[in-house]
Structures are given as C-alpha cells and as structure tokens.
A and B are shown apart, each in its own frame.
Chain A
C-alpha cells in the first residue's frame, strides 16, 4: 500500500508569518507532486505542482521537492486569514503500470489576525 503522510494539524500561524506544510511519500518511483487547498465543504483546488528536485515559486507559494528523502513541502509566505484551509498533498503512484493520484489526509492551517 503506497502512502502519503501529512501532519493533520492544526498548524496555527499569525498573519504575515510563513506557514510550512510537509509531506512524505513511500513510492520512490513517484514523479509528480501536487498541493491542493480545500476549504470546508468545498472541493480541492490546485495550488502548485512540482516534478523536479528543488524549489518552485509561484507568488506567495513555494513548493520544495527532495526525491532522495521522499519529501515535499509547501511554504506560504505572508500568510493571510484567507489561507486558512486544509492543504492536501498528492503524489502519482505508478505501480503495476497504471498511474493513479493518491492523497494524504491533509494538514489544517489556521492563520490568526
């Protein structure tokens, strides 16, 4: 059983601070990594994707990938109360020749004024 692990939180940060969300995965063959944001009662929306080792920045968001350590993270700079949501890490699993997208349980982020 391939796994994607995240701390459930809640992770509480003050407004304006950097929020750091972490994810580990078990399938060394995974090639694609995604971060989704999910507000309560809504469907997930894509925030970032990353395929190569290193950092990828998009506005206030930075995704970091370390395939050797099987670790992917999401940094949110200048956190805002509107960033309060659950963040889901997703990884492609290519076992058996059939690729599928599997998700972690999510980390709940709370940004307080």
Chain B
C-alpha cells in the first residue's frame, strides 16, 4: 500500500538524550514536512524539504535536526538542546510544495 509511515508510534526519552523519529513515504513525493503539535494547539512547522538533499528550517527548528539523503526518507532528530520535547510529531509529504499534503500516523514523544 502507498502511504507515509512514521515510527515508532510512542517514544520515551530520558533527559539529555537524542532520539530520532522515522518518516518514510512510498508515494514518490518530492516535498516532506515535520510538524509538532502540543495539546489543544495547531501544527507548528519544524523543518521542511522541497527536494532530496535540500531542507529548510521552519518556525521552531531550534533543538531539532533533519536529513534528506533519499527521496522517500526524512528522519527527525530531537536533540538534548530541545528543552520541552514532549509533543505529538507529525510527518507529511506532498507531490510538490504547492499541492495537498498527506500525513503519517504520528509519533507521540514523552520525556521521562
């Protein structure tokens, strides 16, 4: 089946630890996005990529890093510099940057 797969669904991080969230798509989409959603809030853009080997910071990139070495993959690393990482993380992709985006099922990250 075509789609966007995020893993893991739930992730627990200890203080000071880096963790990496996976996002894979087999839709042959050029553009990919990472958003963060806090309870009762909208989606805030962390990083986005228009094409392989290129990515741009969104509105809340501090404490996060990404790579886009393959078209189908856009992993997000939450570093220890992110002081409040507990949130629902959503990955999305679209054919191009101006077309509709489709979302993965999300990863819920909790700091313990």
Chain B window 82-112, contacts with chain A (Cβ cutoff 8 Å), 1 for yes, 0 for no = 0000000010101001111111111000000
Judging by beta carbons under 8 Å apart, are A99 and B50 in contact? yes
CB-contact partner of B101 in A42, A101, A106, under 8 A = A101
Say how far A64's CB is from chain B's closest CB, in angstroms: 17
Judging by beta carbons under 8 Å apart, are B98 and A103 in contact? no
Known A-B contacts A43-B106, A44-B90; the reply to A101 vs B42 at CB < 8 A is no
Chain A residue at smallest Cβ distance from B92: A101
Judging by beta carbons under 8 Å apart, are B48 and A103 in contact? no
Judging by beta carbons under 8 Å apart, are B42 and A105 in contact? yes
Judging by beta carbons under 8 Å apart, are A106 and B98 in contact? no
Residues of B within 8 A of A (CB): 31, 33, 35, 41-45, 48, 50, 56, 58-59, 90, 92, 94, 97-106
What are 29 of the A-B contact pairs (CB < 8 Å)?
A32-B98, A32-B99, A34-B100, A42-B105, A42-B106, A43-B103, A43-B105, A44-B43, A45-B103, A46-B100, A88-B42, A90-B101, A92-B98, A98-B50, A99-B50, A99-B97, A100-B33, A100-B48, A100-B56, A100-B97, A101-B33, A101-B45, A101-B94, A101-B101, A103-B42, A103-B43, A103-B44, A105-B42, A106-B42
